[in-house]
Amino acid sequence: MSDILKQLSIWIETIITSLHYPGITLVMFIENLFPPIPSELVMPYAGFLVAQGEFSFIGIVLAGTLGSVMGAVVLYYIGVWADEHIVRNFIRRFGRWFMISEEDLDKALAYFDRHGEAVVFFGRLIPLVRSLISIPAGMDRMPMSKFLLFTTLGSAIWTSLLGGAGWWLGANWEAVLGFLSQYQRGTLVVLVLGVIGFFAFRFMQSRSQKARATASGRVLKDAE
């Protein structure tokens, strides 16, 4: 691990061994608000402690899930506070520089209205996205009951997988980081390709619209 990860690992281990289950909840809460603190260090270590007989598996899953949900609720209300009109005003002023229009925002919000539950649930299983997905849920005013349900389910699966991996690997729990770093890199590649594809599509769309406008102007001139 890098020096930063080593320092984070020591800090996380100290909190968990000192505070026990509340320590897991605390670190997972902070991890949701500050993604640089990876859950990939928290839950596998907790799973290792299960293998040592210091914790129960159900206990670490409940503690980790509780912390994740608490952090997600904070980000949800940040989304409520930010509100749609702030994002819309930003797009009106600067959207053309990012090839994003209000129509794109309307489509995104409409998609979230139709599939918000699935987005929140599966978003909990994707690094980086798992924290940020709470903000658009708040902006869209997703009912809190639905948000809590799908956030809890997704977070419980994530914490169970990481905790179970640490339990199974025992003293080699840090090996989880190798697999998850590849998973995260793959996720980032897909996201980057998606962004590139979006901008390429918008660029070609813009050129096509300009070509049609030019052709239409020529037709009008010939008609005169």
pLDDT of residue 25: 94
SS3 letters across 49-109: HHHCCCCCHHHHHHHHHHHHHHHHHHHHHHHHHHHHHHHHHHHHHHHHHHCCCHHHHHHHH
Single out the residue of 129, 147, 125 nearest to residue 138, CA to CA: 147
Encoded tokens for 45: 């270590």
Q: Are 134 and 150 in contact (CB under 8 A)?
A: no
Longest CA–CA separation in the chain, Å? 88
pLDDT at position 55? 92
224 residues of the chain, pLDDT tens digit each: 556 666 777 888 888 888 999 999 999 998 888 766 666 778 888 888 898 888 999 999 999 999 999 999 998 998 888 766 776 777 677 766 655 666 766 666 676 777 778 888 888 877 667 777 888 888 888 899 999 999 999 999 989 988 888 888 766 656 555 555 555 555 555 555 555 554 555 556 556 655 655 655 554 455 55
Q: Which pLDDT value is given to residue 79?
A: 83
Q: What angle do CA 85, 137, 41 make, to 5 degrees?
A: 125
Q: What is the pLDDT of residue 125?
A: 79
Model pLDDT, residue 149: 94
**Residue-level pLDDT at 41:** 76
Tokens of 178: 């190798």
Domain ranges in the chain?
Answer: 3-175
pLDDT value of residue 175:
59
The predicted pLDDT at position 93 comes to 77
